[in-house]
Chains A and B, each alone.
Chain A
Amino acid sequence: MYKYNDFDHAFVTSRNAQFREQVNRRISGALSEDEFKPLRLMNGLYLQLHAYMLRVAIPYGTLNSAQMRQLAMIADRWDKGYGHFTTRQNIQFNWTKLQDVPDILDALAEVEMHAIQTSGNTIRNVTADHFAGAAADEIVDPRIYAELIRQWSTDHPEFQFLPRKFKVAVTGAKQDRAVIHAHDIGLQIIEQNCILGMRVIIGGGLGRTPMIGKVIREFVAMDDILPYLESVVSVWNLLGRRDNKYKARIKITIHENGIDEFSRLVDERFALIRPSFQGFDQTLLSEFSDAFIAPKFQRFDLSAFDARYQGDPNFRSWVDTNITAHKQADYAIATISLKSHGETPGDASSAQMRRIADLAETYSYDELRISHEQNIVMPHVQKAHLPDVYDALRAIGLATGNIGLISDIIACPGMDYCALATARSIPIAQNIATHFDALKLEHDIGPLKIKISGCINACGHHHVGHIGILGLDRAGIENYQIMLGGDGTETPAIGERTGPGFGADEVIPAIERLIHFYLNERLAPSETFLECYRRLGLGPFKTALYETEQSKARANAA
């Protein structure tokens, strides 16, 4: 893992000291709320419905056990004993008090963490494939480059007052697990003629105007990547609209100016600034490569694993569902589901965090990852240790074998916490999970991604859910629109809206109608929901969704 150097420590310490003074001045009345708000947002502090929420960055989703234990300590000491892992590989504490936040930030700095640029109109936490460094289909560990981008973007003087927030995601694999087509910049590491570089995708995003990103350059060599990214952000910084925040994101800039014109401006800018990059970024890159060196993998006797796998159907089901192939045959990537049926997606108690930290230390080379799908990943587990890991997880209620299934739902905090939300998301997710668990259907249904947002800002990624659910306020009543066919992977698609929305108590029956239709129509159990949808199209699914008499009448009226 990357370790802070003296510069990093000094920078975070001085930012924390500045913010402590800013908080003091707000409390004394020397700063008004209007003056203070941008300052607190620069440090990840929001005021939500019931309390202040502190959003802490987990750079490219990587944590060690000491960091996880410190997050647990913060949850106990200054919050209500839990944390919420988010779709951008951050953790949110929902119940902080303003006067405690400077102490929390100091506690984070002790383990080389911070909340800088987790909010505000800046370049946000750089996210990455949560299987980075472990995935079998990876060219190179993307965290090396994510760290470079993080250092470049943190406190970048030109990019502290951007037209709007700006999000970057990186993957080093063919399979896109980082949703790179729905980011302001998505980067895929590729190799061309034995030279490492990146495919650069820009202008993706969800929110009120969802768009799939466009390729601006098929290949940018690694020694050009930082000046190229700086050129992109720099062009958008000048061209992006500041008159209307809903039209400020780079996706709109590109939509309004065209990718060709935007690309031309970027090339112009690149020609101008490229000479000012004199190789320091490449020196840093070689340092970071050393920081992300893979553990020394070995071969092991797997007989104990095989015996347990054959003899224990619960263990077998967990392995089949939550384990992903590691690049080394005797190792596994184990995903710990934070979606136990009926629990809040992405939440972990302090006790669970501590136990997971212990497991990472003992069984996964002290490494953990937070996935954008709000689960926790142990990236390098010897297969021989999987029975012990499973037993330990089971003891703390975290051995749910549902990764990629109907109950592995992404849900934003929704109106239970968020000041922007128009409806609740968490209870909908809880109800769907418990309902299909009770029916014992989820393994029959197979791979299915449900994603729920409580407002059009789409933190719950509903546009790229195979089934997307959007909670809205319709004349003072919660109403849920359903979208179908979205895909956040390397075959990206924005889901299609089916029609009129459903009341909160109508959502489960509606989802059930869709599922039964799929189960009846699929050509074979191997045809997934998304494949079936792509074969049949919206029409038949829509008919199935609105087939009740009551819904039919409403569809006709709409």
Chain B
Amino acid sequence: MPRPIFDQIITANALLAGDVVYFTAADTWTRDMQKAEVFSDEAIAQVRLIEAMAQANVIVGAYLMPIQHTKDGHAPTHFREEVRTKGPSNYAHGKQEQSHV
């Protein structure tokens, strides 16, 4: 398979809290995007996505999301994922709230 333009990670929503989680190399889920497993190879990413989706009692709706590498670590390439990463813009709720605690 051709190498995708961007590296990718796997994201989903947690089954109970519904919040945004990322898949790690240890087959667990983390709230911290920086701890996500990063895929440069599309074929590996697809296999790992199948493994992630199999954890259907922990998460909902797993999918691959592209990332870019910045000086602060992995960052989303699309504003939708930025909103998921931070939380809404009208209140300091969601992930931005947790990072300030």
Contact = CB atoms under 8 A, between A and B. Distances in A.
Contact of A476 (B13, B56, B78, B91): B78
Contacts of A97: 16-18
B88 interface: yes
A498 interface: no
Contacts of A99: 16
Given A29-B56, A29-B57, A51 B19 contact: yes
A80 B56 contact: no
Interface string B9-32: 000010111111000000000000
A50 B16 contact: no
Nearest to B95: A50
Contacts of B18: 47-48, 50-52, 96-98
A211 to B, nearest CB: 29
A123 to B, nearest CB: 27
B87 A427 contact: no
14 contacts: A33-B56, A33-B60, A50-B18, A50-B19, A51-B17, A51-B18, A51-B94, A98-B15, A98-B16, A347-B90, A415-B80, A426-B89, A427-B90, A477-B79
B84 interface: yes
Nearest to A345: B90
B61 interface: yes
Give the size category of B's interface with A: 20 to 34
A47 B62 CA distance: 13
A27 interface: yes
Interface of B: 13, 15-20, 56-57, 60-61, 77-80, 83-84, 87-91, 93-95
B65 to A, nearest CB: 13
Interface string A88-100: 0000000111110
A65 to B, nearest CB: 26
A95 B97 CA distance: 13
Interface in A373-426: 415-417, 424, 426
A552 B29 CA distance: 49
Given A32-B56, A98-B16, A416-B88, A50 B80 contact: no
